Amino acid sequence: MTSVLQPQKEAPNGTYTFASRPRPVQNRTKYREPAAEQSDGQSNYGNIMYDRRVVRGNTYAQHILPVAAQPDPIEVQRQQESRRRSVARKRAMEQFRPRTPEALEGRKHIDVQTELYLEELNDRVEDTSVECQTDAFLDKPATPLFIPAKSGKDVATQIEEGELFDFDMEVRPVLEVLVGKTVEQALLEVMEEEELASLRAQQRAFEELRNAELVEVQRLEEQERRHREEKERRITQQREVLKKEMETADKIAARAFAQHYLADLLPSVYTTLREHGYFYDPVERDIETGFLPWLMAHVSNTLEKRYVARAVLDMLIHDVTQKRLELFQQMQPHDHSTQ
């Protein structure tokens, strides 16, 4: 029987209860509809095999969250993203799955039975009520006491007081054994205590000897360390002295070589620098860098002004000559006409 699970309701005592009421089965077609239409139009039935709230398997190792614990928002968002991707993937698969082509204009698809035997299709489900009455249960009778069957013959005898057991005589060996065992155990304990005391004394003596040997070893190690450090320090000092002597000898040799090399180099260097103008007379340099450029600029300016004046004078002379030539050419035909 299928039924829709109602939402959980919290009882006053804090426990959860489920309310499930019967309801009729909805009308549905013979063939399955696409997943998208089923999810939109039909409700989910309460099948406990697909209910996430039903725990399966061993529950001892499962981590149960308390009622007041809040879910992790990152985990909730990740689950929502995965659920959304799965739904989108299902929809895409449904779209790409081959379907029956659409009906032509004026026609429509109908459901047709393809079974070997035809059966009537109706919306009402046939049901039959069957009742059964059982007899009332009777109380189980009490189990009778088990009495084993007799075997053999019964024989009786009379025992007077003191015939089988005399306490004073029978208890003496037991008492002797108990006292002996107690004394023996006490002696063993005393011997064990003495032996433990001897072992402790030997252990203390061994520890004292070991501590003395450790102190001596540490003293010898410290002495060896001081000797090694002193040796390394003296070797380092001797190496530094030798290094300084070698550096001093190298410096002396380099100085002698430099003096010998510079004896002929300095005059030639001074001569070359003087020829290239690195050693100069301040008055001469001032005249060359200050006075001569000013003089040349002034002379160039004066010559440029003269050149401009001459060019203007040439242009004036040329214009006047040109005008007089034109005037002369105009007057010459008039003179011929008068003659």
Q: Which range is most confident: 124-138, 228-242, 273-287?
A: 228-242
Domain residue spans of the chain: 282-327
Tokens, residue 120: 């009537």
**Contact, 111 vs 31, CB < 8 A?**
yes
Percent of the chain with pLDDT over 90: 27
**Contact, 22 vs 3, CB < 8 A?**
yes
Count the alpha carbons within 13 Å of 135 in the hemisphere toward its beta carbon.
3
Using CA atoms in the order 117, 122, 124, 125, what is the torsion angle rounded to 10 degrees? 20
Task: Decide if pLDDT at 245 tops 90.
Answer: yes
pTM over 0.85: no
Q: Which range is most confident: 16-20, 148-152, 296-300?
A: 296-300
Amino acid at 109: H
CA angle 4, 7, 12 (to 5 degrees): 135
Average pLDDT over residues 103-120: 77
Distances (CA, A) of 101 to 28, 108, 216: 22, 11, 103
CA angle 66, 70, 75 (to 5 degrees): 115
Residues 111 and 31: their CA atoms lie apart, in Å, by: 8
Residues 267 and 272: their CA atoms lie apart, in Å, by: 9
User: Which pLDDT does position 8 carry in this prediction?
Assistant: 46
Amino acid at 61: A
**Contact, 45 vs 4, CB < 8 A?**
yes
Higher-pLDDT residue of 121, 218:
218
Q: Which range is most confident: 201-210, 253-262, 303-312, 316-325?
A: 201-210
Tokens, residue 1: 């029987």
pLDDT band at 10 (very low <50, low <70, confident <90, very high): very low
Count the alpha carbons within 13 Å of 84 in the hemisphere toward its beta carbon.
6
Helix (H, G, I), strand (E, B) or coil at 17: strand
Residues 272 and 266: their CA atoms lie apart, in Å, by: 10
pLDDT band at 213 (very low <50, low <70, confident <90, very high): very high
Tokens, residue 160: 């007077």
Average pLDDT over residues 142-155: 82
Amino acid at 144: P
Q: How many CB atoms lie within 10 A of CB 86?
A: 10
* H-run or E-run covering 16: strand 16-17
Q: What are phi and psi of 137, to 5 degrees?
A: -75, 135
